[in-house]
Amino acid sequence: MMRASGTRIELAAPEQCMGCGACYASCGFGAISMVPDAKGFYRPDVNAERCRDCGACAFACPAVGAATQKTEPLATLAAWDKDADDRAKATSGGAFMLVADAVLARGGWVCGAVMGQDMVVRHVVTRDREVVDDMRGSKYVQSDVSEAIAECLAHLQGGEEVLFTGVSCQVDAMRRVAGSRYADSLLLVDVLCHGAPSPRFWRAYLDYREWEEGDEIIGARFRKKEPSWTVFSLELTFKTEHRLRAWCTVEDLYLRAFLGDYITQEVCHECPYVGTGRVSDITLADFWGYVSETRRNRNTEEGISLVLANTPKGKSVVELLTGLHTIKKSLSEAVKGNGPLRSAFPANPKEEEFWSAFDVGGIEAVKGYLVPVRFSWKHRLSLFFNDHAYLLPVALRELLIDMRANE
Protein backbone atom coordinates (compact mmCIF):
# COMPACT_ATOMS: atom_id res chain seq x y z
CA MET A 1 0.00 0.00 0.00
CA MET A 2 1.06 3.57 -0.62
CA ARG A 3 0.68 6.10 2.21
CA ALA A 4 0.27 9.73 1.14
CA SER A 5 2.82 11.80 3.03
CA GLY A 6 1.31 13.76 5.92
CA THR A 7 -1.94 11.73 5.96
CA ARG A 8 -3.09 8.32 7.20
CA ILE A 9 -4.67 7.51 3.82
CA GLU A 10 -3.52 4.27 2.25
CA LEU A 11 -4.05 3.86 -1.47
CA ALA A 12 -2.87 1.11 -3.82
CA ALA A 13 0.88 0.66 -4.21
CA PRO A 14 2.16 1.88 -7.63
CA GLU A 15 2.38 -1.66 -8.99
CA GLN A 16 -1.23 -2.38 -7.90
CA CYS A 17 -2.80 0.89 -9.05
CA MET A 18 -5.02 0.64 -12.16
CA GLY A 19 -5.43 4.39 -12.66
CA CYS A 20 -9.20 3.81 -12.58
CA GLY A 21 -9.90 7.17 -10.92
CA ALA A 22 -12.16 5.80 -8.14
CA CYS A 23 -10.14 7.62 -5.46
CA TYR A 24 -10.20 10.91 -7.38
CA ALA A 25 -13.95 10.77 -7.96
CA SER A 26 -14.77 9.81 -4.37
CA CYS A 27 -12.77 12.60 -2.70
CA GLY A 28 -15.11 15.31 -1.44
CA PHE A 29 -12.27 17.74 -0.60
CA GLY A 30 -10.47 18.04 -3.95
CA ALA A 31 -7.40 16.54 -2.29
CA ILE A 32 -6.55 14.10 -5.10
CA SER A 33 -5.31 14.86 -8.59
CA MET A 34 -4.47 12.29 -11.26
CA VAL A 35 -0.94 12.79 -12.61
CA PRO A 36 1.16 10.76 -15.05
CA ASP A 37 3.77 8.41 -13.58
CA ALA A 38 7.14 7.72 -15.23
CA LYS A 39 5.48 5.57 -17.93
CA GLY A 40 2.66 8.05 -18.43
CA PHE A 41 -0.10 6.09 -16.61
CA TYR A 42 -2.61 8.09 -14.57
CA ARG A 43 -1.91 7.87 -10.83
CA PRO A 44 -3.38 9.63 -7.77
CA ASP A 45 -1.43 12.36 -6.02
CA VAL A 46 -2.79 13.27 -2.56
CA ASN A 47 -2.49 16.86 -1.35
CA ALA A 48 -1.85 16.40 2.39
CA GLU A 49 -3.06 19.91 3.25
CA ARG A 50 -6.49 19.33 1.75
CA CYS A 51 -6.86 15.70 2.86
CA ARG A 52 -9.13 15.18 5.88
CA ASP A 53 -8.25 11.51 6.30
CA CYS A 54 -11.91 10.57 5.78
CA GLY A 55 -10.96 7.30 4.03
CA ALA A 56 -13.51 7.63 1.18
CA CYS A 57 -10.78 7.14 -1.45
CA ALA A 58 -9.41 3.96 0.15
CA PHE A 59 -12.96 2.61 0.50
CA ALA A 60 -13.61 3.20 -3.23
CA CYS A 61 -10.22 1.89 -4.41
CA PRO A 62 -10.70 -1.55 -6.00
CA ALA A 63 -7.13 -2.55 -5.08
CA VAL A 64 -7.27 -1.86 -1.32
CA GLY A 65 -11.03 -1.74 -0.55
CA ALA A 66 -13.27 -4.80 -0.20
CA ALA A 67 -13.52 -6.76 -3.47
CA THR A 68 -16.57 -6.13 -5.65
CA GLN A 69 -19.01 -9.00 -5.93
CA LYS A 70 -18.90 -10.57 -9.41
CA THR A 71 -21.62 -12.37 -11.35
CA GLU A 72 -21.43 -15.14 -13.94
CA PRO A 73 -23.08 -14.33 -17.30
CA LEU A 74 -26.76 -15.24 -17.72
CA ALA A 75 -26.48 -15.33 -21.51
CA THR A 76 -23.65 -15.57 -24.06
CA LEU A 77 -24.28 -14.23 -27.55
CA ALA A 78 -22.45 -13.72 -30.81
CA ALA A 79 -23.92 -10.52 -32.24
CA TRP A 80 -23.64 -7.75 -34.80
CA ASP A 81 -25.42 -4.60 -35.86
CA LYS A 82 -27.83 -5.35 -38.71
CA ASP A 83 -26.91 -1.99 -40.26
CA ALA A 84 -23.75 -2.66 -42.28
CA ASP A 85 -22.55 0.99 -42.18
CA ASP A 86 -22.84 1.19 -38.40
CA ARG A 87 -21.19 -2.20 -38.00
CA ALA A 88 -18.25 -1.00 -40.12
CA LYS A 89 -17.65 1.96 -37.75
CA ALA A 90 -17.22 -0.32 -34.70
CA THR A 91 -14.28 -2.44 -33.61
CA SER A 92 -16.24 -5.65 -33.13
CA GLY A 93 -19.89 -6.12 -34.15
CA GLY A 94 -21.10 -2.68 -33.04
CA ALA A 95 -23.11 -3.71 -29.97
CA PHE A 96 -21.92 -0.66 -28.01
CA MET A 97 -23.67 1.90 -30.23
CA LEU A 98 -26.98 0.05 -30.13
CA VAL A 99 -26.94 0.04 -26.31
CA ALA A 100 -25.97 3.74 -26.33
CA ASP A 101 -28.78 4.61 -28.77
CA ALA A 102 -31.31 2.87 -26.52
CA VAL A 103 -30.18 4.98 -23.54
CA LEU A 104 -30.10 8.20 -25.59
CA ALA A 105 -33.66 7.49 -26.79
CA ARG A 106 -34.80 7.46 -23.14
CA GLY A 107 -33.08 10.80 -22.50
CA GLY A 108 -30.16 9.27 -20.62
CA TRP A 109 -26.46 10.21 -20.55
CA VAL A 110 -23.71 8.16 -22.17
CA CYS A 111 -20.13 8.00 -20.88
CA GLY A 112 -17.30 6.55 -22.96
CA ALA A 113 -13.80 7.12 -24.33
CA VAL A 114 -13.03 9.59 -27.14
CA MET A 115 -9.75 10.72 -28.65
CA GLY A 116 -9.44 14.51 -28.54
CA GLN A 117 -7.77 16.74 -31.13
CA ASP A 118 -4.70 16.65 -28.89
CA MET A 119 -4.72 12.85 -29.44
CA VAL A 120 -5.27 12.24 -25.72
CA VAL A 121 -7.89 9.61 -24.82
CA ARG A 122 -10.43 10.75 -22.22
CA HIS A 123 -13.84 9.65 -21.00
CA VAL A 124 -16.59 12.17 -21.65
CA VAL A 125 -20.26 12.29 -20.65
CA THR A 126 -22.85 13.47 -23.15
CA ARG A 127 -26.37 13.29 -24.55
CA ASP A 128 -25.18 14.50 -27.96
CA ARG A 129 -25.24 11.60 -30.46
CA GLU A 130 -22.40 13.14 -32.49
CA VAL A 131 -20.14 12.94 -29.44
CA VAL A 132 -21.30 9.38 -28.72
CA ASP A 133 -20.36 8.63 -32.33
CA ASP A 134 -16.75 9.51 -31.41
CA MET A 135 -16.85 6.89 -28.63
CA ARG A 136 -17.17 4.19 -31.28
CA GLY A 137 -14.08 2.12 -31.87
CA SER A 138 -11.39 0.95 -29.45
CA LYS A 139 -8.61 3.39 -28.68
CA TYR A 140 -5.79 1.20 -27.43
CA VAL A 141 -4.43 3.78 -24.98
CA GLN A 142 -5.22 4.22 -21.27
CA SER A 143 -8.11 6.65 -20.97
CA ASP A 144 -8.32 9.46 -18.39
CA VAL A 145 -11.61 8.62 -16.70
CA SER A 146 -11.50 10.56 -13.42
CA GLU A 147 -13.58 13.68 -14.26
CA ALA A 148 -16.18 11.58 -16.05
CA ILE A 149 -16.97 9.37 -13.05
CA ALA A 150 -17.75 12.41 -10.89
CA GLU A 151 -19.91 13.87 -13.69
CA CYS A 152 -21.87 10.62 -14.03
CA LEU A 153 -22.41 10.61 -10.27
CA ALA A 154 -23.86 14.13 -10.44
CA HIS A 155 -26.36 13.04 -13.14
CA LEU A 156 -27.35 10.00 -11.10
CA GLN A 157 -27.87 12.21 -8.04
CA GLY A 158 -30.11 14.41 -10.22
CA GLY A 159 -32.33 11.38 -10.94
CA GLU A 160 -31.11 10.84 -14.51
CA GLU A 161 -30.16 7.62 -16.29
CA VAL A 162 -26.49 6.99 -17.10
CA LEU A 163 -24.77 4.43 -19.33
CA PHE A 164 -21.14 4.08 -18.23
CA THR A 165 -18.76 2.24 -20.57
CA GLY A 166 -15.06 1.50 -20.25
CA VAL A 167 -12.57 -1.24 -19.50
CA SER A 168 -13.46 -3.42 -16.51
CA CYS A 169 -11.45 -1.57 -13.82
CA GLN A 170 -13.04 1.76 -14.86
CA VAL A 171 -16.51 0.21 -14.75
CA ASP A 172 -15.78 -1.20 -11.30
CA ALA A 173 -14.58 2.29 -10.22
CA MET A 174 -17.88 3.81 -11.37
CA ARG A 175 -19.84 1.07 -9.61
CA ARG A 176 -17.95 1.52 -6.35
CA VAL A 177 -18.24 5.32 -6.39
CA ALA A 178 -22.00 5.15 -7.09
CA GLY A 179 -22.65 2.38 -4.55
CA SER A 180 -25.97 0.55 -4.65
CA ARG A 181 -28.10 3.72 -4.51
CA TYR A 182 -28.49 4.09 -8.27
CA ALA A 183 -28.79 0.45 -9.32
CA ASP A 184 -31.91 1.23 -11.37
CA SER A 185 -30.56 4.24 -13.25
CA LEU A 186 -26.92 3.20 -13.82
CA LEU A 187 -26.20 0.76 -16.65
CA LEU A 188 -22.64 -0.60 -16.61
CA VAL A 189 -21.02 -1.94 -19.79
CA ASP A 190 -17.39 -3.09 -19.75
CA VAL A 191 -15.24 -3.94 -22.74
CA LEU A 192 -12.98 -6.93 -22.20
CA CYS A 193 -9.39 -5.74 -21.95
CA HIS A 194 -6.00 -7.05 -23.02
CA GLY A 195 -4.37 -4.30 -20.91
CA ALA A 196 -4.23 -0.49 -20.88
CA PRO A 197 -1.31 0.85 -22.95
CA SER A 198 0.85 3.78 -21.87
CA PRO A 199 -0.27 7.30 -22.90
CA ARG A 200 3.41 8.39 -22.84
CA PHE A 201 4.43 5.70 -25.32
CA TRP A 202 1.43 6.63 -27.52
CA ARG A 203 2.53 10.29 -27.64
CA ALA A 204 6.13 9.29 -28.39
CA TYR A 205 4.91 7.04 -31.21
CA LEU A 206 2.84 9.90 -32.70
CA ASP A 207 5.83 12.27 -32.47
CA TYR A 208 7.92 9.65 -34.26
CA ARG A 209 5.40 9.26 -37.11
CA GLU A 210 5.08 13.07 -37.41
CA TRP A 211 8.85 13.36 -37.69
CA GLU A 212 8.98 10.50 -40.23
CA GLU A 213 6.18 11.93 -42.39
CA GLY A 214 7.01 15.62 -41.83
CA ASP A 215 3.35 16.33 -41.06
CA GLU A 216 1.09 16.81 -38.04
CA ILE A 217 -1.28 14.02 -36.96
CA ILE A 218 -4.89 15.07 -36.40
CA GLY A 219 -6.67 11.72 -36.08
CA ALA A 220 -6.14 8.03 -35.40
CA ARG A 221 -8.25 4.96 -35.90
CA PHE A 222 -7.44 1.48 -34.65
CA ARG A 223 -8.67 -1.66 -36.43
CA LYS A 224 -10.53 -0.16 -39.36
CA LYS A 225 -11.48 -3.63 -40.70
CA GLU A 226 -9.49 -3.08 -43.87
CA PRO A 227 -8.65 -5.53 -45.35
CA SER A 228 -10.66 -7.41 -42.70
CA TRP A 229 -11.77 -7.54 -39.05
CA THR A 230 -9.12 -10.03 -37.97
CA VAL A 231 -6.22 -8.01 -39.41
CA PHE A 232 -5.28 -5.39 -36.79
CA SER A 233 -4.36 -2.02 -38.23
CA LEU A 234 -3.79 1.59 -37.24
CA GLU A 235 -4.72 4.46 -39.54
CA LEU A 236 -3.41 7.96 -38.89
CA THR A 237 -4.77 11.16 -40.44
CA PHE A 238 -2.17 13.82 -41.25
CA LYS A 239 -3.02 17.50 -41.34
CA THR A 240 -2.06 18.25 -44.94
CA GLU A 241 -5.31 17.78 -46.83
CA HIS A 242 -6.35 15.12 -44.30
CA ARG A 243 -3.90 12.65 -45.80
CA LEU A 244 -4.37 9.07 -44.52
CA ARG A 245 -1.72 6.44 -43.86
CA ALA A 246 -2.37 3.00 -42.41
CA TRP A 247 -0.10 0.32 -41.02
CA CYS A 248 -1.01 -3.27 -40.13
CA THR A 249 0.28 -5.35 -37.19
CA VAL A 250 3.22 -6.72 -39.12
CA GLU A 251 4.65 -3.27 -39.83
CA ASP A 252 3.28 -1.01 -37.09
CA LEU A 253 5.51 -0.26 -34.11
CA TYR A 254 2.70 0.75 -31.76
CA LEU A 255 0.54 -2.32 -32.41
CA ARG A 256 3.59 -4.53 -32.01
CA ALA A 257 4.47 -2.89 -28.68
CA PHE A 258 0.86 -3.30 -27.47
CA LEU A 259 0.28 -6.87 -28.63
CA GLY A 260 3.84 -7.81 -27.57
CA ASP A 261 2.86 -6.83 -23.98
CA TYR A 262 5.60 -4.22 -23.56
CA ILE A 263 3.51 -1.12 -22.84
CA THR A 264 0.57 -2.09 -20.65
CA GLN A 265 0.32 -1.18 -16.95
CA GLU A 266 2.15 -3.49 -14.57
CA VAL A 267 -1.08 -4.40 -12.75
CA CYS A 268 -2.74 -5.48 -16.03
CA HIS A 269 -0.51 -8.55 -16.02
CA GLU A 270 -2.32 -9.60 -12.85
CA CYS A 271 -5.68 -8.08 -13.75
CA PRO A 272 -8.33 -8.89 -11.12
CA TYR A 273 -11.10 -8.67 -13.75
CA VAL A 274 -10.07 -11.62 -15.92
CA GLY A 275 -12.30 -14.69 -15.94
CA THR A 276 -16.01 -15.18 -16.38
CA GLY A 277 -17.04 -13.43 -13.13
CA ARG A 278 -18.04 -9.92 -14.27
CA VAL A 279 -18.59 -6.59 -12.47
CA SER A 280 -20.88 -5.07 -15.13
CA ASP A 281 -24.43 -5.55 -16.45
CA ILE A 282 -23.11 -6.29 -19.94
CA THR A 283 -19.62 -7.26 -21.17
CA LEU A 284 -18.61 -6.58 -24.78
CA ALA A 285 -15.67 -8.10 -26.65
CA ASP A 286 -14.57 -9.52 -29.98
CA PHE A 287 -15.94 -13.00 -30.53
CA TRP A 288 -12.59 -14.58 -31.32
CA GLY A 289 -12.92 -18.23 -32.34
CA TYR A 290 -16.49 -17.70 -33.57
CA VAL A 291 -17.66 -20.74 -35.52
CA SER A 292 -20.31 -20.17 -38.15
CA GLU A 293 -22.97 -22.83 -38.07
CA THR A 294 -25.03 -21.68 -41.05
CA ARG A 295 -24.29 -19.84 -44.26
CA ARG A 296 -26.44 -16.92 -43.08
CA ASN A 297 -24.42 -16.51 -39.89
CA ARG A 298 -20.97 -17.10 -41.33
CA ASN A 299 -18.07 -14.86 -40.44
CA THR A 300 -17.95 -12.27 -43.21
CA GLU A 301 -14.93 -10.55 -41.57
CA GLU A 302 -17.05 -7.48 -40.85
CA GLY A 303 -16.78 -7.89 -37.07
CA ILE A 304 -18.54 -10.04 -34.50
CA SER A 305 -19.28 -8.93 -30.95
CA LEU A 306 -19.21 -11.23 -27.99
CA VAL A 307 -22.04 -10.05 -25.71
CA LEU A 308 -22.24 -11.36 -22.13
CA ALA A 309 -25.47 -10.39 -20.36
CA ASN A 310 -24.37 -10.59 -16.73
CA THR A 311 -27.40 -9.36 -14.78
CA PRO A 312 -31.19 -9.51 -15.31
CA LYS A 313 -31.04 -5.78 -16.18
CA GLY A 314 -28.27 -6.32 -18.74
CA LYS A 315 -30.17 -9.25 -20.24
CA SER A 316 -33.37 -7.27 -20.70
CA VAL A 317 -31.45 -4.36 -22.29
CA VAL A 318 -29.86 -6.73 -24.84
CA GLU A 319 -33.19 -8.48 -25.57
CA LEU A 320 -34.75 -5.14 -26.54
CA LEU A 321 -32.05 -4.26 -29.12
CA THR A 322 -34.01 -4.94 -32.30
CA GLY A 323 -31.10 -3.72 -34.45
CA LEU A 324 -28.79 -6.42 -33.10
CA HIS A 325 -28.54 -9.78 -34.87
CA THR A 326 -27.86 -12.35 -32.12
CA ILE A 327 -26.90 -16.01 -32.01
CA LYS A 328 -26.93 -17.97 -28.74
CA LYS A 329 -23.55 -19.46 -27.84
CA SER A 330 -22.11 -21.35 -24.89
CA LEU A 331 -19.89 -19.57 -22.40
CA SER A 332 -17.21 -22.23 -22.88
CA GLU A 333 -17.04 -21.38 -26.59
CA ALA A 334 -16.49 -17.71 -25.73
CA VAL A 335 -13.87 -18.55 -23.10
CA LYS A 336 -11.96 -20.77 -25.52
CA GLY A 337 -11.44 -17.91 -27.96
CA ASN A 338 -10.92 -15.00 -25.61
CA GLY A 339 -7.80 -14.74 -23.42
CA PRO A 340 -9.09 -12.23 -20.80
CA LEU A 341 -11.99 -14.59 -19.96
CA ARG A 342 -9.34 -17.08 -18.78
CA SER A 343 -6.29 -15.25 -17.45
CA ALA A 344 -4.21 -12.06 -17.70
CA PHE A 345 -1.58 -11.59 -20.41
CA PRO A 346 1.89 -11.98 -18.84
CA ALA A 347 4.41 -9.16 -19.19
CA ASN A 348 6.96 -9.51 -21.93
CA PRO A 349 10.11 -10.89 -20.23
CA LYS A 350 12.02 -7.97 -21.76
CA GLU A 351 9.56 -5.29 -20.62
CA GLU A 352 11.89 -3.54 -18.15
CA GLU A 353 14.79 -3.65 -20.61
CA PHE A 354 12.46 -2.20 -23.26
CA TRP A 355 11.48 0.74 -21.02
CA SER A 356 15.09 1.42 -20.02
CA ALA A 357 16.04 1.60 -23.70
CA PHE A 358 13.00 3.76 -24.47
CA ASP A 359 13.85 6.19 -21.64
CA VAL A 360 17.28 6.73 -23.13
CA GLY A 361 16.66 6.64 -26.88
CA GLY A 362 12.89 6.84 -27.51
CA ILE A 363 11.13 4.87 -30.27
CA GLU A 364 14.28 4.48 -32.36
CA ALA A 365 15.95 2.64 -29.46
CA VAL A 366 13.19 0.02 -29.05
CA LYS A 367 12.62 -0.86 -32.70
CA GLY A 368 14.76 -3.98 -32.26
CA TYR A 369 12.27 -5.38 -29.72
CA LEU A 370 9.27 -4.93 -31.98
CA VAL A 371 9.57 -7.97 -34.20
CA PRO A 372 6.62 -8.63 -36.52
CA VAL A 373 3.81 -10.87 -35.24
CA ARG A 374 3.26 -13.57 -37.85
CA PHE A 375 0.51 -16.17 -37.53
CA SER A 376 1.44 -19.84 -37.94
CA TRP A 377 -0.13 -21.93 -40.73
CA LYS A 378 -2.02 -23.84 -38.00
CA HIS A 379 -3.61 -20.60 -36.77
CA ARG A 380 -4.54 -19.56 -40.30
CA LEU A 381 -6.04 -22.99 -41.01
CA SER A 382 -8.05 -22.74 -37.79
CA LEU A 383 -9.47 -19.34 -38.85
CA PHE A 384 -10.36 -20.77 -42.25
CA PHE A 385 -12.12 -23.69 -40.58
CA ASN A 386 -14.12 -21.37 -38.29
CA ASP A 387 -15.31 -19.35 -41.26
CA HIS A 388 -16.27 -22.28 -43.43
CA ALA A 389 -17.31 -24.92 -40.89
CA TYR A 390 -20.94 -24.46 -41.87
CA LEU A 391 -20.17 -26.13 -45.21
CA LEU A 392 -19.26 -29.40 -43.49
CA PRO A 393 -21.79 -32.04 -42.37
CA VAL A 394 -22.65 -31.71 -38.65
CA ALA A 395 -20.90 -34.95 -37.58
CA LEU A 396 -17.60 -34.00 -39.24
CA ARG A 397 -17.83 -30.46 -37.88
CA GLU A 398 -18.33 -31.73 -34.32
CA LEU A 399 -15.43 -34.13 -34.66
CA LEU A 400 -13.10 -31.35 -35.78
CA ILE A 401 -14.29 -29.01 -33.01
CA ASP A 402 -13.65 -31.76 -30.43
CA MET A 403 -10.21 -32.44 -31.85
CA ARG A 404 -9.30 -28.76 -31.59
CA ALA A 405 -10.67 -28.52 -28.03
CA ASN A 406 -8.53 -31.49 -26.94
CA GLU A 407 -5.32 -30.16 -28.48
Where does this chain bind ligand FAD (CB under 6 A)?
90-97, 112-113, 121, 135-141, 143, 165-167, 191-194, 196, 284-286, 305, 338, 340
Kindly state the smallest distance separating residue 121's Cβ from ligand FAD, in Å.
5
CB of 385 to ligand FAD, least distance (A): 20
Q: Which H helix or E strand runs over 313? A: helix 312-319
Pick between residue 232 and residue 369 the one whose CB is nearest to ligand FAD: 232
- Shortest separation between residue 303's beta carbon and ligand FAD, angstroms: 6
Of 92 and 276, the one with the shorter C-beta distance to ligand FAD is 92
Q: Which is nearer to ligand FAD, 58 or 258 (CB)?
A: 258
Q: Output the CA torsion 250→347→286→189 (10° steps).
A: -140
> Helix 394-405 to helix 377-388 angle, to the nearest 10 degrees?
150
Q: Which residue is nearest to ligand FAD (CB)?
A: 112
> Is the Cβ of residue 142 or residue 311 nearer to ligand FAD in the bound state?
142
Residues paired with 264 in a beta bridge: 197
Nearer to ligand FAD, 203 or 397 (CB): 203
* Buried/exposed 181-193: b ≥16 CB within 10 Å, e otherwise: ebeebbbbbbbbb
**Nearest distance, CB of residue 166 and ligand FAD, angstroms:** 4
Shortest distance, position 302 Cβ to ligand FAD, whole Å: 11
SS3 content of the chain, % helix, strand, coil (to 5): 35, 20, 40
Return d(Cα 61, Cα 17) in angstroms, integer: 9
Inter-helix orientation angle 312-319/95-105, to 10°:
90
CA dist 88 and 95 (Å) reads 12
Q: In angstroms, what is the minimal distance from the CB of 161 to ligand FAD?
A: 16
Which amino acid, one-letter code, is at 332? S
What CA–CA distance (Å, rounded) separates 24 from 46?
A: 9
Amino acid at 228: S
Burial class (CB in 10 A: 0-12, 13-18, 19+), 248: middle
Radius of gyration of the chain (CA): 21
Residues 308 and 76: beta-carbon distance below 8 Å: yes
Nearer to ligand FAD by C-beta: 29 or 288? 288
Q: C-beta of 155: minimal distance to ligand FAD in Å?
A: 16
Q: Which helix (H) or strand (E) holds 203?
A: helix 199-213
Distances (CA, A) of 176 to 26, 61, 313: 9, 8, 18
**Residue placing its CB nearer to ligand FAD in the complex, 102 or 196:** 196
Which CB sits closer to ligand FAD, 4 or 329? 329
Q: How far is the CB of 86 from ligand FAD (least distance, A)?
A: 9
